[in-house]
Homo-oligomer: A and B are copies of this chain.
Amino acid sequence: MTHHVVVVGAGFAGLQLVKGLAGAGCRVTLIDQRNHHLFQPLLYQVATTLLSTSEIAWPIRRVLRNRPDVTTLLARVTGVDRVTQRVTLENGTTVSYDTLVLATGARHAYFGHDEWEADAPGLKTLEDATTIRRRLLLAFERAEIASDPAERDANLTFAIIGGGPTGVELAGIVADLAHRVLPREFRAIDTRTARIMLIEAGPRLLSVFAPKLSDYAAAALERRGVQVLTGRPVTQVSRDQVVIGDQPVPCRTVIWAAGVQASPAANWLGAEADRAGRVMVNAHLTLPDDPQVFVLGDTAHVETDGKPVPGLAPAAKQQGQYAASVIRARLAGKPLPAPFRYVHRGNLATIGRNAAVIDYGRFRLTGGLAWWIWGIAHIYFLIGVRSRLAVGINWLWSFLSRQNPARLITQKETGRRG
């Protein structure tokens, strides 16, 4: 009976692992609750009308169509039984495994304020992105028809909570949208008067970057008309306002980019987890007491040189690659590879049109050149010629025409009134 590897989650870690198992002589079943692999690093551009959903997501089956050893299942996993070695699916059926790989990613965390989610959506899925896009665009529409000036101003006020890369990237494009793309299209309002707040509880933006890059990012955002508020915790979020410290600000659009929480894999496994819910794994990325169970990516707590590995796409891919090499070594009866070591390839973030920051440790870069390098790097990482073409054309076109191509409002509001 062929060795059966069950992989839950087709993100960067899971997909990389499956690719790494090509020709390894095992059967692979890849389970995901969505039908597509998502290129999350560009999700904020879908939310901000620069890209379409179809340009950064690919049907998992299509990506793996030439892998007869791989079966793809669209299903939600509800539990794992490590004794009988079975994964339970939502529809009640079970899938038995010889080796289990959990790479189920993370969701945004509201630090004990889950009631904020309806009014402050985070950005992890395509649905999150289209929800945020709809709210951004509807806010300008409501301002255009508002008779009450206070209502108009509240609709022209945007709060982005969290000063990490995602928050910085969102704030930069929202500012470009208000100042460069929309002005000519509205008659009653001047979209350039929109107030865009980037709110960070910590002392500076991009805390994982070098301080001088944080300063550059803050200055670049302020030049674009973004109000950068550091050292200010958000104490309350509701449909009508956001409270910064003790100062309430009327605001109709809030985006959450502040924190993440690992998926419930730890509960499924009954395994030890860190405060963010990430499963503690050993240097071979398996449970200490169960070498048949790997946990990868944002779902796992791994350390290199005593520092936890960050939740970045390259880290997830490296873990997928490594876990594949461990499984291959076991199947071939070869000695296991050396313990996993994360190789940090640096941090990148864009700050809207023609500005970005790159921190490769020794090599640091800001401005237009960094933006072009960032863009070319990301196009390289997309799957397939079509997506690379589409994204490249979109970026070049919006760079030249100052127009954003993905501006459709679709789907009704859910989760909150109006």
A-to-B contact residues, CB < 8 Å: 34-36, 52-54, 57, 59, 61-62, 64-66, 68, 71-75, 89, 91, 93, 126-127, 130, 137-138, 141, 144-145, 147, 184-188, 386, 389-390, 393, 397, 403, 405-412, 414
Complex Cα spacing A188 to B390, Å? 33
A53 B410 Cβ-Cβ under 8 A = yes
A57 B408 Cβ-Cβ under 8 A = yes
Complex Cα spacing A346 to B74, Å? 44
18 A-B pairs whose Cβ atoms sit less than 8 Å apart in the complex: A34-B409, A35-B137, A36-B408, A53-B408, A59-B408, A61-B186, A62-B185, A62-B403, A62-B407, A72-B185, A72-B187, A74-B145, A126-B410, A127-B410, A130-B410, A386-B397, A386-B405, A390-B390
A54 B409 Cβ-Cβ under 8 A = no
B408 A71 Cβ-Cβ under 8 A = no
Complex Cα spacing A49 to B93, Å? 29
Query: Provided the pairs A93-B145, A145-B91, A386-B397 are in contact, do residues A36 and B185 lie with their beta carbons within 8 angstroms?
Result: no
A407 B35 Cβ-Cβ under 8 A = yes
Chain B nearest CB: distance from A125 CB in Å? 8
Complex Cα spacing A59 to B403, Å? 11
Given contacts A36-B409, A127-B411, A412-B414, 18 further A-B contacts (CB under 8 A): A36-B407, A52-B52, A54-B408, A59-B407, A61-B186, A62-B403, A66-B184, A89-B145, A91-B145, A93-B145, A93-B147, A126-B408, A126-B410, A127-B410, A127-B412, A386-B397, A389-B393, A411-B411
Chain B nearest CB: distance from A70 CB in Å? 8
Chain B residues in 8 Å Cβ range of A59: 185, 407-408
Q: Which of A64, A66, A386 has the most CB of B within 10 A?
A: A386
Chain B residues in 8 Å Cβ range of A61: 185-186
B410 A65 Cβ-Cβ under 8 A = no
Chain B nearest CB: distance from A40 CB in Å? 15
The closest CB in chain B to the CB of A394 belongs to B386
A188 B71 Cβ-Cβ under 8 A = yes
B130 A54 Cβ-Cβ under 8 A = no
B75 A145 Cβ-Cβ under 8 A = yes
Chain B nearest CB: distance from A268 CB in Å? 19
Q: Which of B62, B74, B145, B414 contacts A73 (CB 8 A)?
A: B145
Chain B nearest CB: distance from A185 CB in Å? 4
Chain B residues in 8 Å Cβ range of A93: 145, 147
The closest CB in chain B to the CB of A89 belongs to B145
Q: Which of B62, B141, B184, B406 contacts A74 (CB 8 A)?
A: B141
Complex Cα spacing A34 to B412, Å? 11
Chain B residues in 8 Å Cβ range of A407: 35-36, 59, 62
Chain B nearest CB: distance from A138 CB in Å? 8
Complex Cα spacing A412 to B71, Å? 24
Chain B nearest CB: distance from A39 CB in Å? 12
The closest CB in chain B to the CB of A35 belongs to B409
Chain B residues in 8 Å Cβ range of A72: 185, 187
Chain B residues in 8 Å Cβ range of A406: 54
A187 B71 Cβ-Cβ under 8 A = yes
